[in-house]
Chain A
Amino acid sequence: MIAELGHYALALALCVAVVQSTLPMIGAARNDSVLMGLAPPAATAQFLAIVVAFGALTYGYVTSDFSIINVAQNSHSLKPMLYKVSGVWGNHEGSMILWVLILSLFGFAVAAFGNNLPPSLRARVLSVQGLIGVGFLGFILLTSNPFERLDPAPLDGNDLNPLLQDPGLAFHPPMLYLGYVGFSMAFSFAVAALIEGRVDPAWARWVRPWTLAAWTALTGGITLGSWWAYYELGWGGWWYWDPVENASFMPWLAGTALLHSAIVVEKRDALKSWTILLAIITFGLSLMGTFLVRSGVLTSVHAFAVDPERGLYILGLMSVAIGGALILYAIRAPSMKLGGMFQPVSREGGLVMNNLLLSVATATVFIGTLYPLFLDATTGQKVSVGPPFFNATFVPVMMPVVLLMAVGPFLAWKRGDLPGAMARLWTAALFSAAVAAFVWTQHTGAAFGPIIGFAFAGWLAGGAITEWAARIALFRQPLGVSLSRAAGLPRSAHGMTLAHLGLAIFICGAVADSYWREEVVVNAKPGETVSIAGYDLTLESIKHTQGPNYQTETARLRVMRDGAEVTILSPERRFYPVQQMPTTEAAIHSTFLADLYAAIGDGGAKAGWTVRVWHNPLVPWIWAGCMIMAIGGLVSLSDRRLRIGAPKRGQSPGSSKASGSEPAAQPAGAD
């Protein structure tokens, strides 16, 4: 009964979404406030209906109602409660419900907090948002009904893929979807603005917080996914340039560009049509990610039950959404007024370079990801594109981005002073050189690559800190003055510093791990010792135990360094009888500077066990760096000026006075 209620709620949500996507749009065209006024209650009703549907499916999972096919296929009565709940989105149908839930949550947020939006813009934004909802709700109801019944109901379920029974992965999809779907807000605002024919700084001030929130969530989601792959798959690596990873990384790159170009629209009223285009592309890449993962053109842990019908539907949806938006863009964009002027060397110029480079970087990832599919479709030739390709294309494109990231914040709006900025960056240059020298002394005769990588990271970190220190006049004024200046600085400025610093830390981790990772594979019997990077690991015993829904073999590895015990590592090899599937649970000893990572493979008392140990330098910095980036996003999001509801439209669009609170002449100006 509950399941039928959920199904009915979904159908209801679709009907509401149809209303939401049509009537307010007509109302906005006719300036009919009654029709426009329908949008917010419709968005709220759609959200509530989907909450009911989501709740119904969750109820099915929590109570292990195996008469629902979806529950029977993906759950098991013995599964821990956390994974019963996360199992809701651990499969295709359920994750689509989560997708539309988040989509309608964003629509609801516009309805609830968008009171100060011009009524026509709000109606149009909600209409477009409703239209996306129609597409995806239709998709669920037509091709992926999660509430389908099974008769007779089995006694127990098939269990969730054991690899997905993991706390890191329980939260990876919701975060990722907040990001993917969050970009739908930028898309809806962009399309609404194209229909309105009006983009001004106030528009950007509405788009920016949504984009920032989506970007922050996506950063967190990708990091969680990568962290999961690192400790769960037992391969010792954290990023494989796998098409599925790329599918989430491309919207992130484009979203990063969008985040920066929206600043230019807000502060300087320039780059308007480019920002609109970027918003469309970013959401387009999010949709493409969905298509790649769900159509079965890729094979991965994410590729749920493959069904060509679904792939075709999403492909159609994507073509309509992106094609329609681009056609609208082609018609409307040329009539958009050119905005504020600026010199090539200026804050705007720096952000334009950032955008161009990030777009090119996105393009290289796009080509590397799609070329094998393209070649297979046209010639039938099967190829794969691996990490060497991306190292040879993506990395060189990102290097100038990192170089410019330190310089850009020092340039003033409109007209920047490059020699002046460079003069202020001497500390960063010094820091960069010091870091490079330090790396060179630590790894005498280190290859050219890591030294360059660390020099770039040092340059970026030095630049970010110098800029922040300059703004609060650190060491040039008494500490108290600096502190009160820091407190007075807009939160978005702190956010930017944190995000850039986070990237620098991430680069250190990525460079160190890719150049200095060590690996040993041995066959060991209890009592034998493996040595790696100064550590001695002794296999003491292997124990068999029974978990809630699996059996496990746990190795006990005593880790010694210079004769002193460091820790005990207990890697496991689990076997999940319901799914007949073994998994590897790696054991990681993490210090500030490196991870000692151990996994065990097949074995027996007679032959011994395969023990694989990695020493991964600075990997903790990768997670720390990504987390700092996400925290930077959150800090920036808490900025008073970005808070939803704060901005008021009404300043004359296009006047540079509109952003007068940001002194254009002050070199260390705004964020």
Chain B
Amino acid sequence: MTPKRRRLSIVVIGLVMLGTAAALVLTAFEDNLVFFFSPTDLQAKTVTPEQRIRIGGLVEEGSLERSTDGLVANFRVTDLQNVIPVTFRGILPDLFREGQGIVAEGRLVKGSFIASEVLAKHDENYMPKEVADALKKSGKWKGAAQP
């Protein structure tokens, strides 16, 4: 095999692999992209219960209620314009507090969000980027006070 043909065959194999990978990536994107919505976005858009989504905002002050067995937490997430009730079963992250920004992943069932995962960052000043943008969009961003 001449060096030229060898190089060509390597390039062809490489392209075939890249093509396969591209196909894998595209199909995986179709099924596994998780979109982010703010409570206001959810007023405008329709989301089916099958769709996994992320929501984010501030945990509304005074909204956190725990079930008697302490395992299920109900709270409301707000972007200071609209509110969405959230139900979560499990241990809330260490930094979960009322008034704090969080992101939750799960499904929207009949106007209420069933979270399978709740994320809060390891920093008291933390505001998830999505939440900050959602607050900016709703015009309630207080700027440097919530970096």
Residues of A at the B interface (CB closer than 8 Å) are 161, 163, 234, 299-301, 306, 338, 341-344, 352-353, 356-357, 359-360, 363-364, 367-368, 371, 381-386, 388-389, 392-393, 396-397, 521-523, 579-584, 599, 601-603, 607-610, 612
Residues of B contacting A521 in the complex (Cβ-Cβ under 8 angstroms):
71, 89-91
* A385/B32 in contact, CB under 8 A: yes
In the assembled complex, the Cα of A637 lies from the Cα of B35 at a distance in Å of 46
* B13/A356 in contact, CB under 8 A: yes
In the assembled complex, the Cα of A163 lies from the Cα of B95 at a distance in Å of 12
* A367/B25 in contact, CB under 8 A: yes
A90 to chain B, nearest CB (A): 12
Residues of B at the A interface (CB closer than 8 Å) are 1, 3, 6-7, 9-10, 13-14, 17-18, 20-21, 24-25, 27-29, 31-36, 54, 66, 69-71, 89-92, 94-95, 105, 121-124, 126, 128-130, 133, 147
A294 to chain B, nearest CB (A): 15
Residues of A contacting B6 in the complex (Cβ-Cβ under 8 angstroms):
341-342, 344
Residues of A contacting B28 in the complex (Cβ-Cβ under 8 angstroms):
388-389, 392-393
In the assembled complex, the Cα of A134 lies from the Cα of B16 at a distance in Å of 41
**Given A299-B128, A343-B1, A581-B95, residue A384 in contact with residue B34 (CB < 8 A):** yes
Residues of A contacting B32 in the complex (Cβ-Cβ under 8 angstroms):
385-386, 388-389, 392
Residues of B contacting A360 in the complex (Cβ-Cβ under 8 angstroms):
14, 17-18, 20-21
Listed by A's residue number, 16 A-B pairs whose Cβ atoms lie within 8 Å are A161-B123, A301-B121, A338-B3, A344-B6, A360-B14, A360-B18, A360-B21, A383-B34, A385-B29, A385-B32, A388-B28, A388-B32, A392-B32, A393-B25, A601-B92, A612-B91
A638 to chain B, nearest CB (A): 33
Residues of A contacting B18 in the complex (Cβ-Cβ under 8 angstroms):
360, 363
* A301/B122 in contact, CB under 8 A: yes
Residues of A contacting B90 in the complex (Cβ-Cβ under 8 angstroms):
521, 612
* A352/B10 in contact, CB under 8 A: yes
* B36/A523 in contact, CB under 8 A: no
* B91/A385 in contact, CB under 8 A: no
B53 to chain A, nearest CB (A): 10
In the assembled complex, the Cα of A396 lies from the Cα of B9 at a distance in Å of 22
In the assembled complex, the Cα of A382 lies from the Cα of B128 at a distance in Å of 12
* A161/B122 in contact, CB under 8 A: yes
Residues of A contacting B29 in the complex (Cβ-Cβ under 8 angstroms):
371, 385, 389
Residues of B contacting A352 in the complex (Cβ-Cβ under 8 angstroms):
10
B27 to chain A, nearest CB (A): 7
Out of A300, A382, A392, A582, which one reaches B27, CB within 8 Å? A392
Residues of A contacting B25 in the complex (Cβ-Cβ under 8 angstroms):
364, 367-368, 393
B105 to chain A, nearest CB (A): 8
* A385/B124 in contact, CB under 8 A: no
Give the interface centre of B18, B20, B123 by most chain A CB atoms within 10 Å: B123
* B147/A381 in contact, CB under 8 A: no
Residues of A contacting B1 in the complex (Cβ-Cβ under 8 angstroms):
341, 343-344
* A386/B124 in contact, CB under 8 A: no
Question: A393-B24, A581-B124 provided; 9 other pairs, C-beta below 8 A?
Answer: A161-B123, A344-B9, A356-B17, A368-B25, A383-B36, A397-B24, A602-B92, A603-B70, A608-B70
Give the interface centre of A161, A301, A392, A612 by most chain B CB atoms within 10 Å: A392
Out of A163, A383, A610, which one reaches B122, CB within 8 Å? A163
